[in-house]
Amino acid sequence: MTFVIAQGCCSDAACVSACPVDCIRPRPDDPEFMSAEQLYIDPDSCIDCAACMTECPVGAVYDENDMPRDLEVFREINAEYFAENPLEVVEDARTVRRRLSGDRPELRVAVVGSGPSGCYTVDQLSRIPGVRVTLIDRLPTPYGLVRAGVAPDHLATKDTAKVFAKVIRRPNVHCLFNVEVGVHVSIGELLGAHHAVVMATGADEARTLGIPGEELAGVHSARDFVAWYNGHPDHAGRRFDLSGERVVIIGNGNVALDAARLMVTDEHALEATDMARDAVEALRQADVREVVIAARRGVLDAAYTTPELLALTRMPGVELLAESSELGYDADDRRLRRSTTRRKLHVAEAASHTPRQGGKRIILRYNMVPVSLNGSGRVESFTFRRDPTVPDGNAELETLSTGLVLRAIGYRAAPIDGLPLNSETGTIAHRVGRIHHSSPEDPELGLYCVGWAKRGPSGVIGTNQVCAAETVEAVLDDFLGGTLGEPGCSADELAAVIAARQPSIVDHGAWLAIDAAEKRRAADSPTRPREKFVTLAEMLAAAGR
């Protein structure tokens, strides 16, 4: 018997450290870890000890003899990984193992942003004796995209928040939530009270298509849609026109698939999630019958992961369809590995289906180059150029009627006063996590970055483990090397200055009050884990602020 990692894997890698025979891959120090869809257990090496199942924070590990039927395909997926990547034993480098020297007994670091990258950075730092961490977030609630980005029906993935909860309650971690850098405190002031400042601010600015009609009403970023249904306070009161039968989503990463899935999910299933109440009601009344996921490139370039694609094939009452004419590929293409072959087979199966009358459907389209959004005041249709290899003048055009368009084509780090942006990558300019304005060889002393702000919107939650370890190593190297300046005031003195400017600071205890209140609000529901507050006023009232 063996254990199997299935859908929902967050790549946290706690299972890797727990495995006594080192049979889980990829490990955080493996080159492919940053791009892996999930982790895998070698069926030939597993000794059936269940350590991985015990350690998994999201419940994605199963006994092969006790797997849900709809997840049984993951037995093959795990085995196929090792057919391509034979097991080799290497040393685990997931956690920074360092100590401060006797002449540098205390290190103070401010981490800005409490999403996965910020929390993993705090975890790495706060494990080291003599390190004090100030964790800052502009919202009253921590955990970033775990709370406001992960799909509400992926409750197991959201359980990574339980891991982060243990981190932020450590005695050497001081939480300052509802504090905005650049408004309530400057980066310079943070540096004045800490040896280092790590920016874990993510990539919040959605990329645009750059085509005519993009300004029309009814055209939105998928990020806005996701934030709305997840109850992000910046999007409370937003409205999306769900009265039409067809929605078009541009891009085919996991965000696009999440949005499509939730638009056609059974209303009773939505009740078992932590989706914002307004969004549940809006989707309950929606008239959407068809979601078209339009990719600008071919099926081998698809950015979604196999587990997310498989989830679309198992939706009751929803068909997954595709256009068979759009699935061509070169058999010698270097991207055609087992993983892409499996995904292509599922898409090919979708292309073989004959649509049923009256049912809901998700349609995967490929090689659809956006040309224009059309309408008077609000979007009414979307025109595409078929086959990107054909010159514009000779290309076949196709127009789809729609009243709602979502862009899911990537994100960039939003500009932050005083920090340099790399215009090509859409990230903070840095080298190995050290922020620099001009030359990578001349970093800004004490300024670092991590997560999507550092590497762009890529990877899964656990990918931030390795990213955080690299940045923390840079901080420690600089501190122990004596290149970081000494703080001019204490972190407590700075906290008092911030409190004078922002009386409604939410500390760790106040966040726990919000958390408990949301869970109490869902106490009458047998399935709903929490009823989120979606406005700042509600959150602060629950926090007693």
Residue positions in the annotated binding site for NADP(+)?
252-255, 296-297, 308, 459
| C-alpha to C-alpha distance for 194 and 196, rounded to whole angstroms | 5
Phi, psi torsion values for 332, nearest 5 degrees: -95, 5
Among residues 250, 276, 251, the alpha carbon closest in space to that of 262 is found at 276
Length of the chain: 545
DSSP state of 506: B
Which strands sit side by side in the sheet containing 405-407, from one edge to the other?
219-221, 405-407, 246-250, 290-294, 360-365, 318-322
Q: Rounded CA gap, 227 and 276, in Å?
A: 10
Find the Cα–Cα–Cα–Cα dihedral 297, 299, 304, 306, rounded to 10°. Answer: -170
| Run of H or E including 399 | strand 396-401
The b/e string for 330-348 (b: 16+ C-beta within 10 A; e otherwise) is eeeeeeeeebbebbbebbe
d(Cα 276, Cα 362) in Å, to the nearest integer?
23
431: amino acid identity, one letter: R
| Contact present, 460 and 160 (Cβ < 8 Å) | no
Helices (H) and strands (E) in the chain, counts: 19, 24
What residues contact residue 86 under an 8 Å CB cut-off, 6+ apart? none
Numbered residues of the known binding site: 117, 145, 181, 252-255, 296-297, 308, 452, 459-461
Annotated binding site for FAD, which residues?
117, 145, 181, 452, 459-461
36 token code pair:
């892996």
CB-based contact 312:257 (threshold 8 Å): yes
Sign of the torsion angle spanned by Cα atoms 519, 522, 526, 528: negative
Strands 396-401 and 381-386: antiparallel
Measured between alpha carbons, how far is residue 23 from residues 5, 378, 435 in Å? 12, 54, 37
Element (DSSP H or E) covering residue 135? strand 131-137
- Residues linked to residue 248 through DSSP beta bridges, in sequence order: 292, 405
Tell whether omega for the bond before 26 is within 30 degrees of 0, i.e. cis: yes
Q: Are 264 and 242 in contact (CB under 8 A)?
A: no
In whole angstroms, what is the distance from residue 426 CA to residue 338 CA? 31
**In degrees rounded to 5, what are phi and psi of residue 197?**
-125, 125
β-pairing, 360-365 vs 368-374, is unpaired
